[in-house]
């Protein structure tokens, strides 16, 4: 039996973790297993005050269980890759590993009043997006599709929490192979 | 339309290089990386990339500016983005002066890079579309535009080049869809007439009287409806080339008129008495066997010899199957672009279907088949399923025995057809037919087959 693992680092808020877990389970139709992940202090960059997502992916690849089809990690830490100021998440394209960061998905991050609904919706969309990359999907030109590129939360909010028809078809094909 | 475009990232820091490459790959681009300026230039020598991301500070004697200058020597139109961690006004000015399209400071906002890349690709797509449209508009074909690696086609193209500067008439024979007009255009555009008009007339499309006025023009009042004096195609082609397609279909009267133009280089407009002199090179084309039409008395022998000064026979597509993959990919690239579809590949199974098909409609049919497959395809690759309609066509076109034919009739036809296919080569024909040469000679003589 192969499972879709959804893991969380210790600091992750449990309600958000549960929402991501449920959305991923209903979308991909695979049995989901939860996984407690270690803290990611090793990926911390003092100068930037952020966590390197490449180091995180490398750690995840090492601890990924043998019966995992995919492993999606959820963290509260603000992630970056060297060339960019931040990333909402990162995945191995057509690989097994993905990570999403909740840090920039809350309204509070932008000095706005908290909004649970908006926050949880954003987390689910980013989870689908990074998982899509692990199934070989690249960014979609359809602004409503979960696979469209979001470089700010406005773009995340304007897309739907689902794949468009062509991406959905590609995903099912990718999942079969 | 992203997969067409390739990006090169040049940075000595592997993590920087790989993370940017991975990020761009998620966006659907094909991305190569190079860990030094020298390696970057080497990769640029092998292929032109749509965008070059080049780190400014690199060790090893070749920094970003130097790398950019070398790349620009290879590809003057290259779009280069300089990346640096040390933003100073000076380096920015130097980079821009040397031709960098943009200058980004790392770490860079993802939105900024995304907009930048999209903007450059948008321009690249427009440039590419412009090239295709311009070519379509002027329909200027040169030898390099004829796609073939077939030896016979190679000989034809060489011949086209050799005869381009002459004034002799040319007769192009080939089945419909083999590209007779394209070859005529190659002849026209390879010679000193290239700057003058190329006028194409389909002789099959018009009734005799209409065709006459179309070719030679008419005077005002020469027939009902001739309210103005009109120039004919021969006059329009003065100094250039007139291409007469389906020449085998013209009436006996027009054959006489045409013969006169070819001999005298002059003619009269319909209803006119003034002799018009023209200098137009005549390239004629036919899909029927004109020699046979002459033998049957349907086509004037003297006109045939006037036209047939230089003879070009274009082989049907089924006799040059090696060109099928080349042509299919060429049409795929052009049509996918026109239709805005992101399909760049034909699967092995798909190619096999194309290779096995008989192509009675030749290259034109192949073009239509690729277009139809593109319209209906749902995947990113054209597969045998997308070409399944060909199998249905093929089955309907399988050979059926004509009624009332004797074995001897059959044998005669088969021998004649084989000889035609091998250009009268006895040795080759005998080997194809599976008989020895003397038997073949004997049968040719017995059936009185013309060679």
CATH class of B151-313: alpha beta
Beta bridge partners of B312: B172
Element (H, E) at B123: helix B110-138
CB distance B110–A80 less than 8 Å?
Answer: no
- Long-range contacts of range B387-393, CB-CB < 8 Å, 24 or more positions apart? B387/B350, B387/B353, B387/B354, B388/B353, B390/B353, B390/B354, B390/B357, B391/B353
pLDDT above 90 covers what percent of chain A? 88
Q: What pLDDT is stored for residue B396 in this prediction?
A: 46
The pLDDT, as a whole number, for residue A50 is 96
Contacts for A123 with CB less than 8 Å, ≥ 6 apart: A16, A19, A20, A74, A100, A102, A105
Q: Which is higher by pLDDT, A175 or B273?
A: B273
Domain range for residue A85?
Answer: 3-176
The whole-angstrom distance between B114's CA and the closest CA on chain A is 8
Average pLDDT, chain A: 93
Distances (CA, A) of A62 to A36, A45, B281, B364, B413: 14, 21, 75, 56, 73
Dist CA B428 CA B445 (whole Å): 18
Between CA B320 and CA B172 the distance in angstroms is: 17
Nearest to A15 by CA among A76, A70, A63: A76
Chain B, window 24-83: residues with a beta carbon less than 8 angstroms from a chain A beta carbon: 25-28, 83
Judged by a CB distance cut-off of 8 A, whether residue A91 touches chain B is: yes
CA separation for the pair A143, B335 (Å, rounded): 25
CB < 8 Å from A in window 90-149 of B:
106-111, 113-114
pLDDT band at B428 (very low <50, low <70, confident <90, very high): confident
ipTM of the complex: 0.86
Q: Does B20 touch chain A (CB under 8 A)?
A: yes
Cβ atoms of residues B204 and B249 within 8 Å:
yes
User: Higher model confidence: residue B130 or residue B244?
Assistant: B244
Contact A138 B26 (CB under 8 A): yes
Task: Give percent of chain B with pLDDT exceeding 70.
Answer: 93
Which pLDDT score is estimated for B413?
86
* Separation in Å, CA of B16 to nearest CA in chain A: 6
Do A83 and B19 lie within an 8 Å CB cutoff?
A: yes
Provide the pLDDT for residue A103: 95
* pLDDT of B80 over the 70 cut: yes
Radius of gyration over every alpha carbon of chain A, rounded to an integer in angstroms? 15
Q: What residue ranges of chain A have pLDDT lower than 50? A: none
Sign of CA dihedral B299, B301, B304, B308: positive
Please report the pLDDT score of residue A175 as a whole number: 67
B427: left (phi over 0), alpha (psi -120 to 50) or beta: alpha
pLDDT at position B102 is: 85
CA distance B1 to chain A (A): 10
Question: What number is the average pLDDT over the span B359-369?
Answer: 91
Q: Could you tell me which residue, B54 or B144, shows the higher pLDDT?
A: B54
pLDDT tier, B150 (very low <50, low <70, confident <90, very high otherwise): confident
Per-domain residue ranges for chain B?
Answer: 6-136, 151-313, 321-396, 407-447
| pLDDT in the model for residue B391 | 74
Helix (H) or strand (E) holding B35: none
- The number of distinct structural domains making up chain A is 1
DSSP reduced 3-state for B10: strand
What angle is formed at CA B391 by the lines to CA B386 and CA B394, rounded to 5 degrees?
140
Contact B27 A87 (CB under 8 A): no
DSSP code of residue B28: T
The answer, yes or no, to whether residue B170 has pLDDT greater than 90, is yes
Note whether B178 and B362 are within 8 A (CB): yes
Is A177 one of the catalytic residues?
A: no
Buried b (16+ CB within 10 A) or exposed e, B41-55: bebbeeeebbbbbbb
> A89: domain CATH number?
3.40.390.10
Q: Among B229-243, B287-301, B349-363, B402-416, which stretch is predicted with the lowest mean pLDDT?
A: B402-416
Between chains, do B107 and A133 touch, taking CB under 8 Å as contact? no
Mean pLDDT, chain B, integer: 85
Beta strands at B6-10 and B30-34: parallel, antiparallel or unpaired: parallel
State both tokens at B221. 């009042």
Disruptive mutation site among A83, A85, A98, A132 for chain B (greatest number of B CBs within 10 Å): A83
Contact B110 A84 (CB under 8 A): yes
pTM of the entire structure?
0.56
Q: What is the mean predicted confidence (pLDDT) over B143-171?
A: 84
B407-447 to CATH, choices 1.10.3720.10, 1.10.10.60, 1.10.8.10, 3.30.70.260 = 1.10.10.60
Convert the pLDDT of each residue in A92-104 to its tens digit.
999 999 999 999 9
For chain B, the first-to-last Cα distance in angstroms comes to 53
Q: Which CATH architecture has domain B321-396?
A: Orthogonal Bundle (1.10)
| CA A54 – CA A43 distance, rounded (Å) | 8
Are B361 and B177 contacting, i.e. CB atoms less than 8 angstroms apart? yes
Range B6-136: architecture per CATH = 3-Layer(aba) Sandwich (3.40)
CB B369 within 8 A of CB B391: no
Q: B26–A133: do the CB atoms touch at under 8 Å?
A: yes
Give yes or no on whether B6-136 and B407-447 have one common fold. Answer: no
Name the residue among A48, A85, A138 with its Cβ closest to that of B27: A138
User: B101-117 pLDDT, tens per residue?
Assistant: 888 888 888 888 888 99
B85 interfacial to chain A (CB closer than 8 Å): no
pLDDT at B49 over 50: yes
């Amino acid at each position: 039996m192969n499972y879709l693992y959804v893991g969380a680092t210790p600091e992750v808020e449990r309600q958000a973790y549960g929402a991501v877990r449920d959305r991923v389970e209903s979308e991909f139709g695979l049995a989901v297993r939860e996984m407690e992940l270690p803290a990611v202090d090793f990926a911390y960059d003092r100068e930037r005050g952020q966590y390197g997502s490449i180091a995180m992916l490398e750690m995840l690849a090492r601890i990924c269980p043998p019966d995992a089809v995919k492993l999606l990690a959820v963290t509260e830490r603000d992630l970056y890759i060297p060339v960019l100021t931040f990333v909402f998440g990162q995945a191995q394209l057509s690989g097994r590993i993905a990570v999403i960061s909740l840090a920039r998905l809350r309204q509070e991050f932008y000095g706005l009043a908290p909004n649970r609904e908006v926050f949880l919706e954003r987390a689910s969309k980013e989870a689908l997006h990074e998982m899509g990359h692990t199934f070989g999907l690249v960014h979609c030109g359809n602004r409503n599709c979960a696979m469209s590129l979001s470089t700010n939360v406005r773009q995340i909010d304007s897309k739907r929490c689902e794949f468009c028809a062509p991406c959905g078809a590609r995903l099912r094909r990718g999942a079969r192979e | 339309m992203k997969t067409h475009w390739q990006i090169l990232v040049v940075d000595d820091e592997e993590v920087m290089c790989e993370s940017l490459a991975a990020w761009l790959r998620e966006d659907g681009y094909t991305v190569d990386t190079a860990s030094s300026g020298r390696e970057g230039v080497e990769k640029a020598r092998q292929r032109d990339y749509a965008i070059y991301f080049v780190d400014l500070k690199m060790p090893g004697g070749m920094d970003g500016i130097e790398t950019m200058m070398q790349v620009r020597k290879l590809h003057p139109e290259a779009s280069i983005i300089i990346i640096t961690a040390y933003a100073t006004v000076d380096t920015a000015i130097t980079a821009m002066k040397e031709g960098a399209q943009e200058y980004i400071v790392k770490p860079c906002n993802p939105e900024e890079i995304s907009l930048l890349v999209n903007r450059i690709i948008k321009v690249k797509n427009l440039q590419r579309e412009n090239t295709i449209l311009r070519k379509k508009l002027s329909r200027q074909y040169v030898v390099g535009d004829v796609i073939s690696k077939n030896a016979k086609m190679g000989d034809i193209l060489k011949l086209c080049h050799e005869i381009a500067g002459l004034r002799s008439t040319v007769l192009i024979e080939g089945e419909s869809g083999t590209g007779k007009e394209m070859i005529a255009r190659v002849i026209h555009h390879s010679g000193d007439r290239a700057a003058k008009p190329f006028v194409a007339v389909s002789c099959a499309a018009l009734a005799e009287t209409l065709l006459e006025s179309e070719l030679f023009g008419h005077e005002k009042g020469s027939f009902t409806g001739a309210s103005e004096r009109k120039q004919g195609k021969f006059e329009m082609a003065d100094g250039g080339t007139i291409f007469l397609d389906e020449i085998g279909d013209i009436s006996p009267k027009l054959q006489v008129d045409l013969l006169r133009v070819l001999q005298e280089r002059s003619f009269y407009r319909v209803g006119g008495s003034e002799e018009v002199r023209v200098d137009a090179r005549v390239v004629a084309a036919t899909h029927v066997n004109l020699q046979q039409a002459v033998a049957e008395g349907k086509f004037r022998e003297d006109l045939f010899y006037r036209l047939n000064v230089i003879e070009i026979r274009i082989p049907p597509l089924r006799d040059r199957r090696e060109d099928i993959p080349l042509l299919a990919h060429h049409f795929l690239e052009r049509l996918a672009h026109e239709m805005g579809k992101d399909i760049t590949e034909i699967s092995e199974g798909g190619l096999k279907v194309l290779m096995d098909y008989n192509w009675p409609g030749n290259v034109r049919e192949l073009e239509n088949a690729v277009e139809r497959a593109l319209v209906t395809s749902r995947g990113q690759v054209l597969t045998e399923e997308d070409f399944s309609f060909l199998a249905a066509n093929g089955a309907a076109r399988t050979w059926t025995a004509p009624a009332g034919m004797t074995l001897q009739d059959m044998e005669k036809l088969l021998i004649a057809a084989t000889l035609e296919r091998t250009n009268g080569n006895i040795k080759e024909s005998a080997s194809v037919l599976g008989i020895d040469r003397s038997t073949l000679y004997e049968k040719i003589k017995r059936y009185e087959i013309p060679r």
